[in-house]
Amino acid sequence: MSTVFKVEDLSVEFRTSRGTVRAVDNLSFSVGASETVAIVGESGSGKSTAALACLRLIANPPGRIASGRILLEGRDILALDDAGLRAVRGRQVAMIFQDPMMALNPVFTIERQVGEVLRLHLGLDRRAAAAEVVELLRLVGVPAPEERARQYPHNLSGGMRQRVMIAMALACRPKLLIADEPTTALDVTVQAQVLDLIQSLKERFGMAVLLITHDLGVVAETAHRVIVMYAGRKVEEGSTQEIFKDPRHPYTRGLLEAAQWEEGDGNLLREIPGTVPSPFDMPRGCSFAPRCARAIAHCRKEAPELRELASRRPVACFVAHGERG
Amino acid sequence: MNAIAANPAVPAVLEAVDIVKHYPVRGGFFAPPRYVHALDGVSFALAAGETLAVVGESGCGKSTLARCVMRLEEPTSGRIVLAGRDITHLARGQLRGLRRTMQIVFQDPYASLNPRWSIGSIVGDPIRLHEPLAREARRARVAELLETVGLGAEFMDRHPHELSGGQRQRVAIARAIAVNPSIVICDEPVSSLDVSIQAQVVNLLKRLQRSLGMAYVFISHNLALVGHISDRVAVMYLGQVVEFADARALRGKRLHPYSQALFSAAPVADPDAAARKTRIILTGDVPSPVDPPGGCRFRTRCSHRQDRCATEAPALRAVEGRWVRCHFAGDAGFAPEPGTLA
Amino acid sequence: MSRARAFWRRYRNNRTAVGGAVVLVAVVLLAIAGPWAYSVDPFDMVGRPAELPSGEHLFGTDVAGRDMLAGILHGGRVSLLIGVMASLAASVFGLAMGAVAGFYGGRIDDLIMRTTEFFLTIPSFVLAVVLVAIFSPTVANITMAIAVVSWPSVARLARAEFIAQRDRDYVLGCRAIGMPDWEIITLQILPNALPPLIVVSSLMVATAILTESGLSFLGLGDPNQISWGYMIGVARTVLRTSWWMAAIPGVMILITVLAINLVGEGLNDALNPRLRTR
């Protein structure tokens, strides 16, 4: 499987009145064609910032990409000029967001907005674009697409709007789709529909998908590989099977246990005590150590680097690599 | 329609009887009046110390139910009975005293606390309104409450914007239990929180229930979660209860086609189970509650619909020890669930 | 950082707002201390008419030989007094009306809104003129008239704020614990609704000063008080020959109103920062 998208040592910083913080710290990963890679983390993990950075969507100021390379089929997106970047955005790499109402312009019709992508990138004229929009809406499962194309975003339900956003994203058959919490704001039954849709379209077009989410259920059902982030860093990576069946990093373990609602029967759930550290107040050593039940002295002195286990799985944890207190 | 009680012999601490709530929709000047059918005849009975879950997606009316029962909104018709007393039309003044028996925790921890006041004031408000404690005694009680919910007394002088989502939700819970209510309505209390914090807050709610003996009405869209912590579950769709069962029984089997779809749609954090599961994908969107479909409201999305479903609206009937709103549920061979769930 | 400190910090960073505040403070000090320090009666004839500014009369004399500087200083008192009092009265009354209309809705909302609409359809200056003409022109009546034409816009703003806030979860929470309505309105919602009202009220002082100046210019001011508008009014006939007689009070009005506007905008930026951290 060829690598479509590769991120190397990405770091993103933000300048605030209280100093500079690193929202993403030396993140590296890759996504292959037809592969779904999920980045999992909670608030403050940096996953959404990383996703935005992939398309250079970080507002500068106050943010900036401090280091790293973002390679789309070998070409560094960070080195592109404005024209080159515009040719990539929407065409080679597309993004869908959590709240479709925010992403859609309320004063333009669906036809106009989806058509804009086609006219801009593929040079279609208005008539051809309108016809293609109807086809795209049909492709994403919007019933009565001819009528819907002429409607406005507020006439559509949340699930439909998300489909429209997917249609916009796929209009130019991008090589990579970045989905930032695409179903978090949707009802469960609609979520199922949308995830199903993304899966089938991915298979049909051989697209790579980078899925950003905090929902482990969604990850289990759709992803091939999983990257777990905590406080801006990658702490573990592996195939979906490996991560769910054999999690090595204590944070991954904690997340999985907290998400298993089915177990227990009136018993208390296993919880992770404490909260994610503020980026202004990062603990010395491993950022997870204050909440970790298995932390040893070394954890509080030095931040662990990502090292591969015997099974070629990168984990950033001293204890996972066999150290004892 | 009799209120649905788990055990008719045990007195219910809260009863909702046939609650109907319609919101008028302003049409054009000459258009006939239309209504949003937020609730159309919902009933339940809550026993002391019990956890009753109300599950459904957006637009099903679960939050409206919570507000009607708390009389934060007035139901169009129906009765609310609190500890045997009909409070549906009680005047504001008389209602005030009863407010201490029934409390509510909201979904959004960022919107439910007034940003201008300190945590101490916020948690102290119900005490100030209902108990004749002097200021010092009140502060001591607030400190105690904060400890009980896992925050220290040092949080008293802080303001909501200094706290995280999980911490704010704990403050909301502290305020809700401040005057020892017998019922707490939890309206999606953990939906806005991170997964690891959800577990903390749910555990807190369970611990409090054990020590204080409160009954919960737990509203959520997360089926796995409610299956874990509730005694009985009511599944709602478009303003009506479509299935009402014992939690364990519902975990094992769902009889109403919507309950089945809901359960199968919920993502499972286990790749093997996910691969095994055959998904029931509903077609179409939820119909608008302004003009709910005639007959059975679920028929537009139900893959098992028949002619009778369009002409005759099904009532809740007893099937296999639970209540189901479907003409055919429980019939031999009807709507077998594909695959199995844990 | 506490909200008050954060507010001052944001305000301090806005140079024009700080500049406006400095000028405003200077004007206020001048108005308060000036007449006490320079005790010439502005109505006294102290020299020949239309004298140019000189060592004896810093701003010269007006058409009747009265000291212009005394007029400026005393006039400042009157203008600021009327401006502040009218704005205060309009704000308090408008806030009360708007809060009740917004919180309760229904018929009382309709009643109050129809009343405000009535006022808003009539040009406010014209209505002020009519009111002052009906009741005799005194400082108190002028203040009242300006307040009467200004309260409706405050009421509508307050109503909008209260409508926005009343369905928020924290208000529902207060109702759920049995808090009485008056407490919810004054102690819970009001502190959150204040920022835009503060801005509007401060800007209203400027409008009130302009309205008062207009009334005085037309001769409807209090005949026993000098005000800047009056000074411009009496200089009307000699505008082409002795233009400074109108220009000096005019510039004072300009500076004051400009300073108030800068302060108001500064308050707006400081109270409603765009980047709110959750």
The model's pLDDT over C144-153, given as tens digits with 9 standing for 90+, comes to 999 999 999 9
- Cβ-based neighbours of A206, under 8 Å, separated by 6 or more: A33, A34
User: Quick check: B250 contacting C, CB < 8 Å?
Assistant: no
What average pLDDT is seen over chain B?
A: 87
**Full DSSP string of A92-104:** TEEEE-S-HHHHS
Contacts with A, B 30-59, CB within 8 Å: 57-58
Q: Which residues of C touch B70 (CB under 8 A)?
A: 176
Torsional sign, CA C60, C62, C64, C67: negative
Tokens 């364990």, residue?
A: B248
pLDDT, position B3:
56
Element (H, E) at A313: none
**Contact call for A187 and B202, based on CB within 8 A:** no
User: Quick check: B189 contacting C, CB < 8 Å?
Assistant: no
Shortest CA distance from C192: residue in chain B: B116
Residue A267 class from Cβ within 10 Å (0-12 exposed, 13-18 middle, 19+ buried)?
exposed
* d(CA B56, nearest CA chain A) in Å: 9
Give the closest residue to A54 by CA, choosing from A35, A29, A34: A29
User: Quick check: B282 contacting A, CB < 8 Å?
Assistant: yes
Least CB-CB distance to C176: which of B72, B97, B107? B72
pLDDT, position B1:
39
Shortest CA distance from C168: residue in chain B: B111
Phi, psi of A44 (to 5 degrees): 85, 0
Length of chain B: 342
Least CB-CB distance to C170: which of B95, B114, B161? B114
User: Quick check: B182 contacting C, CB < 8 Å?
Assistant: no
Q: Which residues of A touch B261 (CB under 8 A)?
A: 189
Give the closest residue to A277 by CA, choosing from A51, A45, A62, A49: A45
User: Quick check: B64 contacting C, CB < 8 Å?
Assistant: no
Least CB-CB distance to A262: which of B198, B207, B224? B224
The conformation of residue B186, written as its DSSP 8-state character, comes to E
Q: What percent of chain A has pLDDT over 90?
A: 36
Query: Residue A7: pLDDT above 90?
Result: yes
**Model confidence pLDDT, tens digit, residues A29-86:** 999 988 999 999 888 888 999 999 998 888 887 888 999 999 998 889 888 888 888 8
- Cβ-based neighbours of A2, under 8 Å, separated by 6 or more: A32, A33
Phi, psi of B26 (to 5 degrees): -75, 110
**Token reading at A113:** 């907005």
Check if the beta carbon of residue C192 is closer than 8 Å to that of residue B114: yes
Give the closest residue to A55 by CA, choosing from A223, A202, A180, A206: A180
Phi, psi of C62 (to 5 degrees): -95, -165
The conformation of residue C189, written as its DSSP 8-state character, comes to I
Give the closest residue to C177 by CA, choosing from B73, B113, B169, B100: B100
Q: Hey, what amino acid is at C229?
A: G
Element (H, E) at A36: strand A36-40
Check if the beta carbon of residue B257 is closer than 8 Å to that of residue B298: yes
Least CB-CB distance to C188: which of B104, B111, B114? B114
C21-30, C35-44, C239-248: lowest mean pLDDT where?
C35-44
Q: Which residues of A touch B223 (CB under 8 A)?
A: 188
Q: Which residues of B touch C178 (CB under 8 A)?
A: 95-97, 99-100, 126, 129-130
The conformation of residue B158, written as its DSSP 8-state character, comes to -
Shortest CA distance from A155: residue in chain B: B288
Dist. CA A289–CA A276, nearest whole Å: 11
ipTM: 0.85
User: Quick check: C170 contacting B, CB < 8 Å?
Assistant: yes
Shortest CA distance from B164: residue in chain C: C278
Dist. CA B53–CA B233, nearest whole Å: 5
Element (H, E) at A246: none
Shortest CA distance from A244: residue in chain B: B270
Strands (E) in chain B, as ranges, are: 12-25, 34-47, 51-55, 77-82, 85-86, 102-105, 183-187, 215-220, 232-237, 240-246, 317-319, 322-324
**Per-residue pLDDT averaged across A139-147, rounded?**
87
The conformation of residue B116, written as its DSSP 8-state character, comes to T
* d(CA B119, nearest CA chain C) in Å: 13
**Model confidence pLDDT, tens digit, residues A185-224:** 788 888 888 888 898 888 888 899 999 998 888 999 899 9
Length of chain A: 325
pLDDT, position B8:
65
A247-256, A262-271, B167-176, B265-274: lowest mean pLDDT where?
A262-271
Q: Hey, what amino acid is at A238?
A: G
**Contact call for B228 and A255, based on CB within 8 A:** no
Instruction: Identify the band that residue C111 occupies on the pLDDT scale cut at 50, 70 and 90.
Output: very high
pLDDT, position B69:
93
Taking CA atoms, C91 is separated from C105, C141, C190, in Å, by: 20, 17, 13
What average pLDDT is seen over chain A?
A: 88
Query: Residue C112: pLDDT above 90?
Result: yes
**Model confidence pLDDT, tens digit, residues B230-283:** 999 999 999 999 999 999 888 888 899 999 888 888 888 888 887 777 777 777
* d(CA A120, nearest CA chain B) in Å: 32
pLDDT, position A35:
92
Q: Which of A243, A251, A271, A281 to mutate to probe the B interface, most B CBs <10 Å?
A: A271
Higher pLDDT, C6 or C236: C236
pLDDT, position B45:
92
**Contact call for A221 and B202, based on CB within 8 A:** no
Strands across the sheet containing A233-239: A93-96, A176-180, A208-213, A36-40, A225-230, A233-239, A314-315, A307-308
Query: Residue A231: pLDDT above 50?
Result: yes
Shortest CA distance from C4: residue in chain B: B116
Q: Which of B151, B164, B195 to mutate to probe the A interface, most A CBs <10 Å?
A: B195
Check if the beta carbon of residue B159 is closer than 8 Å to that of residue B117: yes
Pairing of β A36-40 and β A208-213: parallel
The pLDDT averaged over each successive group of 10 residues in chain B (342 residues) is 61 90 79 86 92 90 92 92 89 86 91 91 93 91 93 90 90 94 93 84 91 93 83 93 91 89 84 78 78 87 87 90 89 66 38
Check if the beta carbon of residue B12 is closer than 8 Å to that of residue B46: yes
Strands across the sheet containing B102-105: B102-105, B183-187, B215-220, B51-55, B232-237, B240-246, B322-324, B317-319
Q: Which residues of B touch C169 (CB under 8 A)?
A: 106-108, 111-112
**Model confidence pLDDT, tens digit, residues A93-137:** 999 988 887 788 989 999 999 998 888 888 889 899 999 999 999
Q: Taking CA C161 as the corner, what is the angle to CA C158 and CA C164, rounded to the nearest 5 degrees?
A: 150
**Contact call for C176 and B104, based on CB within 8 A:** yes
Taking CA atoms, C165 is separated from A153, A172, B30, C28, C192, in Å, by: 26, 44, 32, 36, 8
Phi, psi of C231 (to 5 degrees): -60, -40
User: Quick check: C191 contacting B, CB < 8 Å?
Assistant: yes
pLDDT, position B6:
61
Least CB-CB distance to C173: which of B106, B115, B130? B106
User: Quick check: B246 contacting A, CB < 8 Å?
Assistant: no
Return the CA Rg of chain C: 22
Strands across the sheet containing A75-76: A19-32, A3-16, A63-72, A75-76
Question: B touches which chains (3+ CB pairs under 8 A)?
Answer: A, C
